[in-house]
Amino acid sequence: MLVKNLCLVTFITSTLTECSLQLPSTDFVEQQLQSYFIDYKRNSKTGQDFCLYLNANKNKTKDISNWFIKYNSRCLSLILSEEGIETQDFPQNDATFIFLQEIEDVENSIKLLHKYHFWNSKGENHFILCTEVNNTQFLPLWFSFIWKKHLIQFVFVLVDVDVEIFIYNPFAENAIVNLRHNPDYYDVSFLNKLTNLFGYRLRVALYEYDPLLIKVNGTWHGKDFKMLKLIAQAMNATVDIIEAVNATHPYIETFMNIINDKADFCLNSIFVASTLWLNVVDYTYPHAYNKLVILMPVTSDDTTDTHSDNLISIFTYMVWILIIVLVIITAAVLTFAKKATWNSFSGSLIYSLGCLIGYSFYGFKSQRHSVQFQLITFILGATILRTIFTSFLVGTFLSPSISNRITTIEELRKTDIEIYISRELALIVPKEFSINDKLIVVSMEERTRRLYEMDTRFGYAVTQKIAQRFLSWLKEHVTSMPFYIIEEPLMQGFDIYIFQKHSPFVAEINLFLMRERSSRLVKQNERYQHVFRTNYTESGRRVVLALHHLHSVFYMLTGGLSLSFFVFIIELLNNHD
């Protein structure tokens, strides 16, 4: 472990213990600070394995800091300087002791601590003023400054008439509390202040992202907003929503609001494939896995399919085989019956095919067993199949041409279709796919508008959740799906929420997200009660005739034919007797 201009002090000898350590002869301030640390170590229930010391080598702090380090010999100690560090191997520390010559040293000390990745702002932070203080009126101003630097877990120790120990809770009614006269101050100094915010107003950035998070008539809808309400309720907080006003690039505006301290965090699920570019903000653990996929139109203007091709594609090859087998069997039965009109196999085959597409049966009054067998064969077979065939035959001339579905990015690259994509997603598309020439960068609002207008001239690059939500909506509004998802994704990723750098809320909301994931209070597959901005209706679009349009008549036909077949069997048995 290499450290530049740092002094790593590790004491492993057992001879120096609390019992054998004697207080040196020092002035009043040092004696009071030493007594604070002795009492704290004796009563603290939290162990410390790695401690940081800042400003330990200055004139007015050298003596007391050296004493602290020796007394805290069982903890790995690191004395920080204003120089950089060449190693990244340090874990996050448990406690930080910041020694101050003057109160003005607070600002530079916090700025220096922010440079160290291993400094734990959410751990124990002790600000120790090493000079005697006669007036504490400066405390509210500096405590507020420390809080604005996202440091909330700290105590401020100074010496007036006696040693004074202050804590600061910006959420409580009494923000500044002196714990010196509290016998349990060792236990309450670093309690989690985020479990109850006492109605504190959280500034939360949101922007519309159809169909996952939308605003209709002043009311927000979506999974992320429901998550926000649960977080506010759990933390006893009030929410001020900072809404992005730039409809073209709301994501960039939200990102800048967080960096410029206009919002505490953003609760839009943001899809990322890597966190390397998020070095200027903090972020939660991934709360959901996601993918970047392409919604492809089922129809295409440049398709060369004909209506004859569509006619063949009505049924699968197995259904066509069964139809052919049925026709051949029926023709063979008719040939075996040796009817006068249809006395050849070819003639019976033509007659059977005619019956399949609607030609009426002959010989209904005949009592011959061959004709009865024909009726049994056709009454529940050919008639029902004929109805299905006719429905799809009519439907194929009303439906648009169907193009072959693309399943891989390689197949997409060979087509001429262009892809609408938002600027934020375009930046992370892998160049290895070589589809950048097909990408048309538009705003999220423009992409969403075209998608809900069913513009099938283009494909759309969206996250998997948006694609699945859109297809679920389509199933409830159209009879045939005009879009499908290409099976091969552009990239794998995950969804996160972003926060201000060193935000104290990250750890608490991370815990909440883990609890929510186990309890499933916000379901991943939650339906959004059909709330969408678009006023889409089915009128004006071509409707493909399918079975569900005729199901009532088809059920009546099936019931009647079944009843007729039952009567026929009874008559057949009675005549046989």
CA distance 466 to 461: 10
pLDDT at position 134: 83
Three-state SS string over 27-69 comes to: CHHHHHHHHHHHHHHHHCCCCCCEEEEECCCCCCCHHHHHHHH
pLDDT at 245 over 60: yes
- Pick 93 or 110 by higher pLDDT: 110
Degrees to nearest 5, angle at CA 481 with 479 and 482: 120
pLDDT at position 448: 85
Q: Do residues 265 and 366 touch, judged by C-beta distance below 8 A?
A: no
Beta strands in 274-365 (DSSP E): 282-283, 288-297
- Pick 548 or 475 by higher pLDDT: 475
pLDDT (average), residues 421-435: 87
Tokens 């892809």 map to which residue? 419
pLDDT (average), residues 320-326: 74
- Pick 366 or 127 by higher pLDDT: 127
pLDDT at position 146: 92
- Pick 320 or 264 by higher pLDDT: 264
pLDDT at position 551: 63
pLDDT at position 535: 41
The two three-digit tokens of residue 245, written as one number: 């006003």
pLDDT (average), residues 124-148: 90
Q: Do residues 405 and 483 touch, judged by C-beta distance below 8 A?
A: no
Give residue 271's identity as a one-letter amino acid code: F
Tokens 């190693």 map to which residue? 87
DSSP single-letter state for residue 382: I
DSSP single-letter state for residue 22: -
pLDDT at position 161: 82
CA distance 280 to 268: 18
Q: Do residues 45 and 94 touch, judged by C-beta distance below 8 A?
A: no
Taking only the tens place, the pLDDT of each residue in 479-537 is 778 899 998 999 888 899 999 988 989 989 999 988 888 776 665 444 444 444 444 44
How does residue 140 score in pLDDT terms, banded at 50, 70 and 90? very high
pLDDT at position 305: 43
Closest C-alpha among 95, 156, 90 to residue 122:
95
Degrees to nearest 5, angle at CA 541 with 540 and 542: 125
**Averaged pLDDT score across all residues of the chain:** 76
The pTM score is 0.66
Taking only the tens place, the pLDDT of each residue in 60-75 is 888 888 888 888 877 7
pLDDT at position 476: 83
> Pseudo-torsion of CA 475, 478, 479, 482, nearest 10°?
-90
Pick the range with the lowest mean pLDDT from 91-105, 124-138, 346-360: 346-360
Taking only the tens place, the pLDDT of each residue in 170-201 is 998 889 988 877 767 777 788 888 889 999 99
CA distance 178 to 189: 10
Tokens 């794998």 map to which residue? 492
Closest C-alpha among 391, 398, 402 to residue 548:
391
Burial class (CB in 10 A: 0-12, 13-18, 19+), 18: exposed
How does residue 350 score in pLDDT terms, banded at 50, 70 and 90? low
Beta strands in 140-232 (DSSP E): 154-159, 163-168, 176-178, 201-206, 213-216, 219-222
Q: Are strands 459-463 and 201-206 parallel, antiparallel or unpaired?
A: unpaired
pLDDT at position 98: 92
pLDDT at position 268: 92
Backbone angles phi, psi at 55, to 5 degrees: 60, 40
pLDDT at 361 over 50: yes
pLDDT at position 99: 93
CA distance 57 to 45: 29
pLDDT at position 10: 33
SS3 545: coil
How does residue 444 score in pLDDT terms, banded at 50, 70 and 90? confident
CA distance 457 to 450: 10
Pick the range with the lowest mean pLDDT from 196-205, 213-222, 565-574: 565-574
pLDDT at position 260: 92
How does residue 277 score in pLDDT terms, banded at 50, 70 and 90? low
pLDDT (average), residues 127-155: 89
pLDDT (average), residues 295-307: 58
pLDDT at position 341: 52
Pick the range with the lowest mean pLDDT from 6-20, 36-50, 265-279, 296-310: 6-20
pLDDT at position 128: 93
CB under 8 Å to 140, separation ≥6 — which residues? 175, 176
pLDDT (average), residues 443-455: 86
CA distance 439 to 418: 6
